[in-house]
Amino acid sequence: MSKVTIVGAGKYGSMTALRIAESDMVSEVVMTDIVEGLPQGLALDMNQSRYVEKFQTEIIGTNSYKDTKDSDVVVVTAGLPRKPGMSRMDLLSTNGKIIKDVTNNIMEYSNSPIIIVVTNPLDQMTTLVAETSELPKKNVIGQAGILDSSRFAYFISKKTGVPMKEIKALTLGSHGETMVPVPSQCLVNDKKLTELPAYFNTNPHKEVTLDDKVGIRTSKYKYFRAEIDKGKEINLYDLENDPQENNNIASENPEIVKSMEEILEKLTKNATIDEPEKLTKKQEKIVEEQLKEMGYI
């Protein structure tokens, strides 16, 4: 592989161009955009960093698709981004026109490239590129799977305190609200995520009361007790044989209770409580308008 083209010199496109160039996997990276002077200026800065970062790949900034000729791979980041309150599907019509034009330009100068689509709504744009380009299915790829899996891995790492390089995560489905994480296929230090104890607290954001519980859940057991007095309201359930949690087996299994309590103590010390996200006044107004449209207020 000798040439990669990035369509769109925004934040995503320019970062992609730089990352590919720094990896020295190809001899040339072309970055094209409709804004005159933008890709050229970015390319100049990146090329001047080659001395510092010690990579050989040349970056070319251009406003012409002629410079993309004979690209092996094309990454399409062009299109309008979402604005506050917009869904990905709100971009369907506008970005559809842009992507169809981009695809025709790509195919005019490159015979059989691999096209990686980033533009939202991702799955629909990927289908449009495939239909417009008439390339084999294996040549048109949407980047959503790796993006959402990477995001999932980040949150797993943050919650478990395990380095990212020791995490393997998997998500499936359409990029957006219907994307599904698959915990059973995720590994943390080579252990299944579903087998790791999960800490839970019934009242994490307020002052602790007598009614509040704290506990853990593993693939085999669910254990919880009163948060203020750890010797009271002890519950232990065998999830494999009692999935409905009808039979509290704590009194018959003091050794299991002890081991679960030890795990809980460790997790309690390391547990971090995320503060609720605070909205700006503008965001609050958008939410309020949406709730009015749905008839909630």
Could you give the residue numbers annotated as active site?
Answer: 175
**CB burial class (10 A; 0-12, 13-18, 19+) of residue 182?**
middle
Name the token pair of 113. Answer: 């490239």
Residue 105, CB half-sphere, CA atoms under 13 Å: how many?
Answer: 21
Residue 26, CB half-sphere, CA atoms under 13 Å: how many?
Answer: 20
Give the integer Cα–Cα distance in Å for 96 and 174. Answer: 17
Name the token pair of 256. Answer: 């299991």
Where are the extended beta strands (E) located within the chain?
3-7, 28-32, 58-62, 73-76, 114-117, 140-142, 167-168, 171-172, 180-181, 187-188, 191-192, 198-201, 213-217, 221-226, 235-238
Which run of H or E residues covers position 43?
A: helix 38-48
Q: At 105, give phi and psi (nearest 5°).
A: -65, -40
Q: Which of 162, 132, 143, 128 is nearest to 77 (CA)?
A: 143
